Structures are given as structure tokens and as C-alpha cells.
């Protein structure tokens, strides 16, 4: 059906004298006709040169007007051309180029109606051609979360069910079944067991987190055992051992509504088993973090607190009026409590340049920001108020367990090139550029290559309903910063997305602000200035107030 309408569209342009052909749409129309002719001609489609000619036509259409009406369609068809070429050439780089142009189209033109088509083609390439089902799973989740009403949502849901059956482990009631991919291969197990350093937990009425810290990376598997009134989450850590100081505990009694007891001990030789006895669960996540290696278990309870119950009633009233907005706007939640996170601290100084340490700037700005927010009537919480080290996974835990409505993480950027400067605001999502990968790698204390391997984290963030809210908050905060620091002629590097550990698991809108580059001489001088930090803080406050104003406006509809 889409092909029919596209041909009708081309025909109407060619025949209608009211739309004279310009150079851009001439290239696009030639490319479009050539592409579909080549699809039908099996003999000509075997030759690479024919596909490259088609690609060049679309590329010219895009380059002559990168923001014009044919630009998104040209990028889409460049991706389709490389996809069809890859099917015939069986060359991996052709499929990778197809994904590259599909992603570029989505990044530059996120509201275009063909974006879900591009993302679905990207998922199919990863699933069928590149044999990367985990990446395909993420793309399909992206379609359902970002384009739930698009024409590709049904097909995306069907493919997700297929992936669930084929690739994900199946846990049945009172019986654990573990997929072969979760079982460690003998070559992955070292002769020397890895020490378990600590087992920590945090919990409140409807959320809990358990962290197992180890000295090195290990292979682990997860199992869920369901019961009529409670559940057990089991994590087996292969090639590990328990030192005496940890072994003596063996049992941690929590007695919260979400986590009852945590038990651990040797299951078999060199296999330590951690068992978490819980109440009725809404869901759970198990993932790993590095430096040091930790296995993290997030647990979500079924009980709905009073605040969410009231919010859901507001949502029903909003639906009855026919109003539409983002989830948090529809729920009518107010912003009262803000958790401020001064990045780094203690043994982790962050970026250092010219005798200036990032951790000190972050803490100074956090205290200025906190005072301003209190004057505006907000309740302010801090992850740290002194120069102490706090692991990344504990920062969002503080926000979750203490009922924060927003999470603001403050940082200072760095770059090898001293000329690079500007303000950036990030929210949790797939990294959309090399710079975003670089910043995420630095803040996560991992290599850039590792960012692409964080599949579990990326899958989790795609299921996070706060992506849209965080994006809106990031835009308003950046706008506020630029307005309040205009006397310094600030440069905006825009709102960006990347997978940050510190934002992982946040159950509220969460952003990370890079207020400038410590490696840039001019910005480093400003970062020493109380006056400049005060202007930055005022801008952040203005952005938060504007965000709250919009929420109240929608809640009052």
C-alpha cells in the first residue's frame, strides 16, 4: 500500500505544473524510480555499480538541501539501498552503512512518519543479517516506546514475541529453566576464583536494590522462583569464593515489604549462590557494572503507593476530557523533592586541569543550586555534601528510596582538544554520537568500546517510561542555562542522549548536566568564579520551574 501511494505521489509531482522540479527533488525522484526498477530487475540487481548509482542520486538529493522536505526520505532510501545491496553482496559493511543512514534519519528528523519504518528495517538487519538479536530487541522496544501508534508497532510486537521465545530464558512457576546462553563456557572460567567483596542492599515500600561487589569480572546467571505469596530471585556467580568476613554473615534479614531476607553461600565448588526472598513482584532487573565489577539486582514491588493512586485517578480524568500529554503530565504529579548529585567525589576526582578538580566544582555548584531551590519552595536532597566517594549505583538508589521527583547530576566535561567548549545536557538513552559515547565512557569509567556492550542496560532504559519526561526536562534546563549565562556568550552543544550508569534505574525524570569544559582555558577560568556558577544554578532553577509549570498546566486541564 505504501509503495502505491509513493508512486502516486511521484506521478502527481511529475504531472502537476504547479510544482516545477528543482535540482533536489529531481535527484530524489530519479533515485526513487531507479531504486524500484532495480528491485524488479534481478539481472541488473546483481551488479554493485547499479546500486551505488542509485545511492548517489539519493545522496545528492540530501546534500543539496540537508534540511529540506526530501532530506529525511533521501536518508531513508540510502539506508534501503545499502540494505538491498547487502542482501545481494553479503558484505557486512553494507548492512552497517544501512543502519548508519537509518539512525541518521531518526536522529535528524525524529518526528518524520517514516522513522518507525527505518527503525524496523534496522532491527531486521541486526536480527537476520548481522545475527545480533540483543541489538534487534532494543530497536523493537524503541519502536513500541517512541512510536506506539505507528504503523510498524504491530510488526515490532510480533518480532519481540518471537525473540522472547527464542532467545530469552524462560522461568516457569516453581521450576527454573536457564537458557544455554546463560551457562558459562569452560573457557570463560579462570583457574583462580574471584573474591566477593561485599553484599549491600537498599529498599523501601515498593522498590529495592541488591549489589554484589566482586574483585574481577565473572560469569553469572539469574533464576526466578515464583510462589503463591512470595518470590525468590537467585543469582549464581561462577568461579567465585567468599572470604571469612563475608561468609560469617551469610544471612541479611531486611524485613521490608519488598525484600525479606538475603542469603548467600556455596552452591557448588567455586559457585556462590545469592538468594533474595521477596514479596510479590511487579518486575526485576539484573545487570552488571564495572570498575569494580558489580552484579546489581533491581526489584519492583506490586503495591501502588498513595501518590501513584491519586495520580492514576488524575490520568483517568484527563482521558475523560480527551487531553493528551506525556505520562508525568497526564498523571498530574507535582515536583516537590529534588535530588542533587554532585558528580565524582573522594577517591574519584573526575577531570583535573590547571590545579582544578571536577569534584570540587560539582560540590560547590550543588550547594549554590540547593539554596536557590529551597528559596523557591522545593525540598532538596543531596547524594553527598562532603568530599566522599559514592558508587554510581548508590546515587539513583538514594533518589528512589527517598521519594525524589527529579534527579539532577552535575558534572564538568573534558576533551583532548583545548578548543572544545560549551554546555551539554544529557538524558538516559542510546548514545547518538561519538561525543556522547566519549562522555558516557568517561563518566562511567569504562572504555568507549564497552558502551556498545551495555546491552542489558540499554534494554532496561528502553523500558523506562521516563525517557520522554527526561528529554523535556533536559531541554528546559538547557534553555534556562543559556538564558541566564548569556552575558558570557555561552555555546550550546544541545540536548544529548547516552547510557550513563548514574542515571540507570532512576524512577523519576533524570538528567546529567555538563556545565562546561575544564580543559578549555576560558571556561576553566569561569568555573573558578562563584558568579558564573551562580548564573548556571539560576538557569537550572529556571528550567526546573518551567518544567513544573507545564506539569501543573496539564494537570489543571
Digit-by-digit pLDDT tens for the chain (557 residues) are 445 545 555 555 444 443 434 677 889 999 999 999 999 998 999 999 999 999 999 999 999 888 888 899 999 999 999 999 999 999 999 999 999 999 889 888 888 999 999 999 999 998 899 988 867 877 787 787 777 888 998 998 888 888 766 654 433 322 232 333 344 444 444 457 888 998 988 887 778 889 999 988 888 888 887 765 567 888 999 989 888 777 777 788 887 778 888 988 888 788 889 999 888 777 888 878 777 888 988 888 765 455 555 555 555 555 454 444 444 444 445 789 999 999 999 999 999 998 999 999 999 999 999 999 999 999 999 999 999 999 887 888 888 888 899 999 999 999 989 999 999 998 876 555 566 656 665 566 554 445 444 544 555 444 444 777 888 899 999 999 999 998 888 888 888 877 777 777 777 889 999 999 999 999 999 999 999 999 999 999 999 999 988 876 654 44
The topology under which CATH files domain 337-548 is: Aminopeptidase (3.40.630)
Write the Ramachandran bin of 286: left for phi over 0, alpha for psi from -120 to 50, otherwise beta.
beta
Give, in words, the CATH class of 19-167: mainly alpha
pLDDT at 19: 40
For residue 259, the cross-strand partners are: 278
Q: Say whether the peptide bond before residue 292 is cis (omega within 30 degrees of 0).
A: yes
Strand stretches in 27-143, DSSP E: none
What is the rounded CA–CA span in Å between residue 478 and residue 288? 31
pLDDT at 331: 43
Question: At 341, phi and psi to the nearest 5?
Answer: -115, 100
pLDDT at 191: 56
Residue pair 145/463 in contact (Cβ under 8 Å)? The answer is yes
Residue ranges per structural domain of the chain? 19-167, 176-301, 304-333, 337-548
Q: Are strands 492-498 and 423-428 parallel, antiparallel or unpaired?
A: parallel
* CATH number belonging to domain 176-301: 2.60.40.3500
Cα 327 from chain centre: 17
Residue pair 235/272 in contact (Cβ under 8 Å)? The answer is no
What is the rounded CA–CA span in Å between residue 40 and residue 7? 15
The pTM is what?
A: 0.58
What is the rounded CA–CA span in Å between residue 103 and residue 110? 10
Strand stretches in 215-293, DSSP E: 220-226, 231-238, 240-241, 251-253, 259-268, 271-278, 281-289
* Nearest Cα residue to 288 out of 370, 217, 362, 229: 217
pLDDT at 456: 47
What is the rounded CA–CA span in Å between residue 16 and residue 11? 8
pLDDT at 449: 46
DSSP 338-396: EEEEE--BTTB---EETTEEHHHHHHHHHHHHHHHHHHTT-EEEES-SSS----HHHHH
* Nearest Cα residue to 171 out of 99, 226, 238: 226
Write the Ramachandran bin of 291: left for phi over 0, alpha for psi from -120 to 50, otherwise beta.
left
Residue partners of 375: CB distance under 8 A and separation at least 6: none
Strand, coil or helix: 245 = helix
For residue 426, the cross-strand partners are: 496, 512
Look at the block and give the residue holding cell 583532548: 416
pLDDT at 455: 43
pLDDT at 189: 46
Residue ranges of alpha helices (H) inside 402-515 are 434-444, 448-451, 455-462, 467-484
pLDDT at 175: 27
pLDDT at 469: 84
Q: From the CB of residue 363, how many other CB atoms can be counted at a distance below 10 Å?
A: 23
What is the rounded CA–CA span in Å between residue 72 and residue 133? 27
Amino acid at each position: 500500500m505504501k509503495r502505491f501511494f509513493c508512486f502516486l505521489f511521484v506521478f502527481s509531482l511529475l504531472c502537476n505544473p504547479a510544482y516545477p522540479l528543482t535540482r533536489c527533488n529531481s535527484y530524489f525522484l530519479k533515485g526513487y524510480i531507479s531504486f524500484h526498477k532495480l528491485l524488479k530487475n534481478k539481472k541488473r540487481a546483481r551488479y554493485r555499480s547499479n546500486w551505488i548509482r542509485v545511492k548517489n542520486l539519493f545522496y545528492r538529493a540530501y546534500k543539496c538541501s540537508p534540511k529540506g522536505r526530501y532530506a529525511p526520505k533521501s536518508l531513508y532510501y540510502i539506508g534501503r539501498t545499502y540494505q538491498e545491496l547487502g542482501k545481494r553482496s553479503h558484505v557486512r559493511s553494507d548492512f552497517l552503512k544501512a543502519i548508519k543512514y537509518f539512525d541518521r534519519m531518526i536522529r535528524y528528523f525524529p518526528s518524520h512518519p517514516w522513522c518507525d519504518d527505518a527503525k524496523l528495517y534496522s532491527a531486521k538487519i541486526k536480527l537476520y543479517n548481522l545475527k545480533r538479536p540483543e541489538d534487534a530487541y532494543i530497536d523493537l522496544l524503541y519502536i513500541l516506546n517512541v512510536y506506539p501508534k505507528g504503523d510498524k508497532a504491530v510488526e515490532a510486537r510480533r518480532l519481540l514475541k518471537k525473540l522472547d521465545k527464542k532467545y530469552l530464558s524462560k522461568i516457569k512457576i516453581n521450576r527454573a529453566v536457564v537458557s544455554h546462553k546463560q551457562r558459562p563456557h569452560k573457557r570463560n572460567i579462570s583457574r583462580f576464583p574471584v573474591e566477593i567483596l561485599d553484599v549491600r542492599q537498599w529498599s523501601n515500600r515498593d522498590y529495592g536494590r541488591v549489589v554484589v561487589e566482586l574483585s574481577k569480572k565473572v560469569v553469572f546467571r539469574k533464576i526466578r522462583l515464583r510462589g503463591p505469596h512470595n518470590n525468590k530471585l537467585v543469582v549464581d556467580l561462577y568461579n567465585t569464593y567468599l572470604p571469612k568476613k563475608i561468609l560469617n554473615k551469610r544471612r541479611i534479614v531486611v524485613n521490608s515489604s519488598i525484600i525479606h531476607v538475603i542469603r548467600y553461600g556455596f552452591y557448588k565448588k567455586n559457585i556462590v549462590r545469592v538468594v533474595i526472598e521477596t514479596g510479590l513482584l511487579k518486575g526485576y532487573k539484573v545487570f552488571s557494572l564495572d570498575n569494580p565489577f558489580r552484579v546489581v539486582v533491581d526489584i519492583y514491588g506490586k503495591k501502588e503507593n498513595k501518590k501513584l493512586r491519586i495520580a492514576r485517578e488524575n490520568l483517568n480524568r484527563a482521558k475523560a476530557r480527551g487531553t493528551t500529554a506525556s505520562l508525568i503530565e497526564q498523571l498530574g504529579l507535582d515536583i516537590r523533592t529534588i535530588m542533587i548529585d554532585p558528580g565524582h567525589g573522594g577517591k574519584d576526582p573526575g577531570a583535573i586541569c590547571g590545579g582544578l578538580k571536577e569534584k570540587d566544582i560539582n560540590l560547590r555548584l550543588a550547594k549554590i543550586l540547593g539554596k536557590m531551590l529551597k528559596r523557591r519552595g522545593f525540598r532538596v536532597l543531596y547524594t553527598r555534601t562532603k568530599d566522599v566517594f559514592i558508587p554510581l549505583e548508590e546515587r539513583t538508589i538514594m533518589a528512589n528510596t527517598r521519594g525524589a521527583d527529579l534527579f539532577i547530576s552535575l558534572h564538568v566535561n573534558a576533551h583532548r582538544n583545548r578548543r572544545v567548549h560549551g554546555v551539554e545536557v544529557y538524558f538516559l538513552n542510546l548514545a547518538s554520537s561519538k561525543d556522547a559515547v566519549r562522555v558516557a565512557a568517561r563518566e562511567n569509567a569504562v572504555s568507549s568500546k564497552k558502551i556498545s556492550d551495555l546491552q542489558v542496560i540499554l534494554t532496561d532504559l528502553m523500558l523506562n517510561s521516563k525517557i520522554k519526561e527526561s528529554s523535556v526536562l533536559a531541554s528546559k534546563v538547557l534553555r534556562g542555562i543559556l538564558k541566564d549565562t548569556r552575558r558570557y556568550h555561552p555555546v550550546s552543544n544541545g540536548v544529548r542522549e547516552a547510557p550513563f550508569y548514574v542515571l540507570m534505574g532512576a524512577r523519576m525524570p533524570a538528567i546529567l548536566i555538563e556545565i562546561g569544559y575544564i580543559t578549555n582555558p576560558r571556561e576553566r577560568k569561569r568555573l573558578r568564579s562563584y558568579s558564573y556558577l551562580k548564573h548556571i544554578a539560576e538557569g537550572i532553577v529556571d528550567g526546573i520551574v518551567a518544567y513544573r509549570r507545564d506539569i501543573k498546566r496539564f494537570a489543571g486541564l
